[in-house]
Structure 1
Amino acid sequence: MSALNFQNARIVLADEVLEGSLSTDNGLIAALDAGNGTIGEDFEGDYLVPGLVELHTDHLENHYHPRPKVFWNATAALQAHDAQVASSGITTVFDAVRIGSDADASYNLGEHVEILVDTIRAAKADDRLRADHFIHLRCELATADALEHFETYCDLDVVQLASLMDHTPGQRQFVTMDLYYAYYQGKTGRSDEEMKRFIAARIADQQEFSEANRRGIVSRGHANGLTLASHDDATQEHVDEAMRDGVRIAEFPTTREAAEGARNAGLSILMGAPNVVRGKSHSGNISATELARDGLLDVLSSDYVPFSLMHAAFELPQRVEGMELPQAINMVSKNPANAAGLTDRGEIAIGKRADFARVTMRGGVPIVRSVWRQGKRII
């Protein structure tokens, strides 16, 4: 792999912005210099930021299942997703796939999870993808077959992360039934009576399956060396449970109480970048920007809009007094990489992977000009 040289760049390091040049060798960052001692591609003062690291995105599902009853060719769907991810400056992505059947789905979910997992593995082996893809097992605990499905996939080398989820009505993501009704009745068109039956069934499932699934998934996950995340923690009790289970990441805490508990417990706190861009949560929960102002935010995830990751990183310093760009960029690169145990990437530093993007600002919204992964241009 040939060496690359870049000059006249505003290089976003972990703790400062260096105006200078960068060189790569054999897919790694080999040199950093202030000024323009190294002659190479001229960035013309644009930012050179580390390749972004995305830990939780459901975006692949949008390409694979774009309409009711429509399932796209899985390879084509993955390539479309990958192209959008990479063009957003994301060079490492954890694609979330659901573990545990959806009682409300009109199709065999397990069959489609198998298709997506096999497609990601095959595409990586065939060098089809721009970004480096891993799999995040999104484990729905209150389902009859969550542990069975987890056992099917947890040994695969592409699986590096698992989250413990419970979307039972009236807790965690939707801490009040009013919010739950407003969201799901609007989404499904169910009558009040249909909603009552649906909710009763989901609560019964939780009581029957959740605890046993949690114990089995936590035990096997640790045995396999997976990073574990809690999801939608709302109370100190939820945080305490996460600590007992050896969780490292608190995904999308829904309340200040849970975020403060996660900080005190030493967990990495992950929030949604769309929450930052929009200025609020789509489900009425705590604001990510508010948590950032109070030092209660470590990692951002694009969740359902890939470009929101870069957008939010450049937006936060404008909204949070005292926050500089390197700190915000760390939330989408270094911090998520470290939280997932990927210590070879996530920052611009000598010896790290040459994963980075050229970014310019215009009209308050960043533009991703070019992207490199391991020293190879992918956009």
Structure 2
Amino acid sequence: MEQTPWRITGGTALLDGALRPAEIALAEGRIADPPPGARRLDARGLLVLPGLVDLHGDAHERSLQPRPGIGFPAGMAVRDTAAQLLACGITTAYLGVTLSWEPGLRSLETWRLLMAALDAARPRLALDLRVHLRFEADNLDALDDALSDIAAGRVHLLGFNDHTPPILRRMDDPRQVAKYAGRAGLSSEDFEALIGRIAARRDEVPAARARLATAAARAGLPMLSHDDATLGDRALYRAHGATICEFPMAEVVAEDARTQGEAVVMGAPNVVRGGSHLGWASAAPLAERGLVTVLASDYHWPALLEAPFALARRGRMDLAAAWALVSGNPAAAAGLADRGALRPGMRGDVVLVDPAGPEAVAVFCGGRLAHLTGAGAARLG
């Protein structure tokens, strides 16, 4: 289908690391020279920015299961998720889909339903919706599914998760047991029996992890480690090819990753709220020091748009530099060389932001107008 060419005029655009008045044109899905007969959008008073790239967002879980034990069809959840992402200016999203040994929301059954729903929805989606497989190390029964989906191109980013040890350490606390059991839809007794069976196969984890890493490397997928607590953790996953360090639990781990030229990811909600909800390191000062290079929405899509403005308000990083954390840097970390900047020939992913909000007034994905607020509609020419 032929695309409508666009001229975005009168706005302040992010070009070559600086904000300046400029016209941006879109044609045939890409940033282009002003094409003849283009439709006009008046961007006066707005910022014209590269679309947001989100490497890890799992807020889709609330669309799948808005209350514990209350589920909705995966296709419906995907549609709702896509609409929320676009409203937040996110044009490339890696859904952080946890494939765990726990029943329920993060189970193999839910994984299969969600993969099928994504397959069905993608031809109609405006944004580039990808899958960040968060594979729980002890989920040995799901290994074959994961390997098959990697080979089939259904997975676009592999994350190594290992949450079993901290769960085991909390089994002496009845409140924690009840929390995990409730998430899995089990009684406390049944959950304790389940994790006992899982822990009994712990010696099989290294071989399974190696098979996943080999499959991902063969498929050309970027890989990341999650919640690295020690330099040993980072070294282990680096040896498997994980060149992205996500949510390091110690500053020294982030420093080590940056010394190796690796991307370090932390959560945008951490920046917006002024600290981690788990009491871990504060992301904003680490970003200002260059130790955090990528922000992800984590559990709250809107935080990704808000975070660069929050950093700019702190006065140690200008908006152009802060925007790199949510667009150019994550694109580079994921190996997506065609987005994250407003340069001729790049993919036409553009978000027009009212800085007073900040609010995404209009969003273009691949050169197509994908989201428009009422205020944005009044700007169409």
TM-score range, shorter chain: 0.7 to 0.9
Query: Where does 1:216-231 land on structure 2 (aligned, <5 Å)?
Result: 216-231=211-226
Q: Tell me, yes or no, if structure 1 residue 368 matches structure 2 residue 360.
A: yes
Q: Report if aligned partners of 2:75, 2:121 keep a CA contact under 8 Å in 1.
A: yes
User: 2:375 maps to which residue?
Assistant: none
Q: CA RMSD in A?
A: 2.8
Kindly state the Cα deviation for residue 289 of structure 1 after the two structures are TM-superposed. 1.0
Structure 2: 5+ residue stretches without partners: 183-187, 372-381
Report SS of the residue matched to 1:354. coil
Instruction: Quote the residue 1:35 is aligned against.
Output: none
C-alpha distance in structure 2 between counterparts of 1:368 and 1:107, whole Å: 30
Instruction: Give the SS at the match of 2:163.
Output: coil
Match of 1:27 in 2: 29
Aligned residue among 134, 137, 141 for 1:141: 137
2:114 maps to 1:122: no
Write the distance in 2 (CA, Å) between the matches of 1:180 and 1:360. 50
Alignment of 1:282-361 (within 5 A): 282-319=277-314, 321=316, 323-361=317-355
How far apart, CA to CA, are the structure 2 residues paired with 1:75 and 1:39? 33
Shift in alpha-carbon separation, 1:317–1:295, aligned structure 2, 3 A? same
Deviations for 1:102-143, whole angstroms, at most 9, x for unmatched residues? 1xx357921221110011011113x1x231111111110122
Aligned to 1:113: 111
Structure 1 residues 50 and 106: CA distance shift in structure 2, 3 A: closer
- Higher mean displacement: 293-302 or 199-208: 199-208
**Match for 2:302: what amino acid?**
F
Alpha-carbon distance change, 261 to 201 in structure 1, aligned in 2, over 3 angstroms: farther
Q: Displacement of 1:206 after TM fit?
A: 6.8
Alignment of structure 1 residues 1-379 onto 2, 5 Å: 1-31=3-33, 40-102=40-102, 105-106=103-104, 109-125=107-123, 127=124, 129-170=125-166, 184=176, 187-188=179-180, 201=196, 204-205=199-200, 207-319=202-314, 321=316, 323-362=317-356, 365-379=357-371
Gaps of 5+ in 1: 33-37
**CA shift digits 1:328-365 (9 cap, x unpaired):** 11111111111111111111111101111110122xx4
Q: Are the counterparts in 1 of residues 171 and 192 from structure 2 also a CA contact under 8 Å?
A: no
TM-superposition CA deviations, 1:299-332 (whole Å, max 9, x none)? 11001111100000111122251x1111111111
CA contact (8 A) 2:54 2:296 kept: yes
Cα contact 1:168–1:206 (8 A) shared by 2:
no
- Separation in structure 1 between the aligned mates of residue 26 and residue 57 of structure 2, nearest angstrom: 30
Residues 200 and 43 of structure 1: CA distance in aligned 2, closer, same or farther (over 3 Å): closer
Shift in alpha-carbon separation, 1:69–1:179, aligned structure 2, 3 A: closer
Whether the aligned pair in 1 keeps the contact of 2:181 and 2:191 (CA below 8 Å) is no
Q: Tell me the distance in 1 between the aligned counterparts of 2:326 and 2:212.
A: 27
For residues 4 and 338 of structure 1, what CA distance do their matches in structure 2 show? 26
